[in-house]
Amino acid sequence: PVRPVLPPDIRSRKGGVPLVVLTAYSTPVARLVDAHCDVVLVGDSVGMVIHGLPSTLGVTLEMMILHGRAVVRGAQKAMPVIDMPFGSYEEGPQQAFRNASRLMAETGAPAVKLEGGAHMAETIAFLTARGVPVMAHVGLTPQAVNTLGGYKVVGREDEAARVMADAKAVEAAGAFSVVLEKVPEGLAGRITEALSIPTIGIGAGVHCDGQVLVVDDMLGLFTEFRPKFVKRFAELGRAADEAIAAYAAEVRTRAFPAAEHSFPDAVPVKK
């Protein structure tokens, strides 16, 4: 079944009302995101946020398929996009197509996202020509944390030209949009002006064509660390901590369960 929003619809939002994107990894959260967002991203951030991994490098295709299927079930109107995990596309276009087509066929998502600029252009063109719409991701690419030497801002000073060239390369290769992660805001603005596809920023300032955040970060559920670009729109982690503490206290004092949560031995006679 064809979905209500497809990659060309997202592409055509260039320069308009900013695109609203959040991650989700489960059906209930996908339903919440679906009500308000244009795109729901099944990010490989799932590895750190849900599975407690130290980076995104340990995320597998099987994990992305499982979480992708859960999210696609919950997304009626927002367009799902699934991250290609580390090691599933870098060998070359054929490997990328084999795994991207599995992600799409086994989840029902109409697009994938992969990290990399000019060096991934050939792969993006190969996928796009064969029915796999690609959202690209340049600037800070977390799967390259070990070669980058950390999660630092990418694109200051002499690095700026390379990030601009990466963005132009993925556009020329056929990407329908591009995530700019942890790029200085002026550079992100110049890239946004230079491209005809939407830029979706995370830590890339206000001039992008859209914004994305990790949903557990903005809800205050993931609190291991907090990048500067995260704004907490809620403190659900604190609320959950208080609720769990109250439950523990009520169990220990036998305040819970009360009669209303229990079943009487005799069924009351109906009159």
Residues of the shown chain interacting with ligand KIV in the complex, contacts defined by CB under 6 A: 23, 41, 43-45, 83, 179, 202, 212, 214
Query: What is the smallest separation between the CB atom of 135 and ligand KIV, expressed in angstroms?
Result: 9
Identify the active-site residue in 90, 181, 235, 242.
181
Subset of 75-94 contacting Na ion (CB under 5 A): 83
For Na ion, the binding residue among 22, 29, 43, 96 (CB under 5 A) is 43
Binding window for Na ion (CB under 5 A); candidates: 36-44, 195-203, 233-241, 263-271: 36-44
Residue 34 touches which of Na ion, ligand KIV, none (Cβ within 5-8 Å per kind):
none
203 binds, among ligand KIV, Na ion, none (CB under 5 to 8 A by kind): none
Q: Tell whether residue 83 is among the known ligand binding residues.
A: yes
Contacts 24+ apart (CB under 8 A), 117-122: 117/162, 117/163, 117/165, 117/166, 117/167, 117/169, 117/170, 118/165, 118/166, 118/169, 118/170, 120/89, 120/170, 120/173, 121/169, 121/170, 121/172, 121/173, 122/93, 122/173
Burial 91-125 (b: 16+ CB within 10 A, else e): eebeebbebbeebbebbbbbbbbbbbbbebbebbb
Contact partner at residue 188 from Na ion, ligand KIV, none, CB < 5 to 8 Å by partner kind? none
Least Å from the CB of residue 56 to ligand KIV? 7
Q: Which of 137, 117, 120 lies closest to 204, judged by CA?
A: 137
Q: 84's torsion region: left (phi>0), alpha (psi -120 to 50) or beta?
A: beta
Which part of the chain contacts Na ion (CB under 5 A), choosing from 14-22, 41-49, 210-218, 226-234? 41-49
Is 181 noted as a catalytic residue in this protein?
A: yes
Nearest residue (CB) to ligand KIV, 23 versus 123:
23
Q: Which of helix, strand or coil describes residue 22?
A: strand
Nearest residue to ligand KIV, scored by beta-carbon proximity: 43
The Cα 50–Cα 222 span in angstroms is 9
**Which residues participate in the annotated binding site?**
44-45, 83, 113, 115
- Enumerate the active-site residues: 181
**Which residues participate in the annotated binding site for 3-methyl-2-oxobutanoate?**
44-45, 83, 113
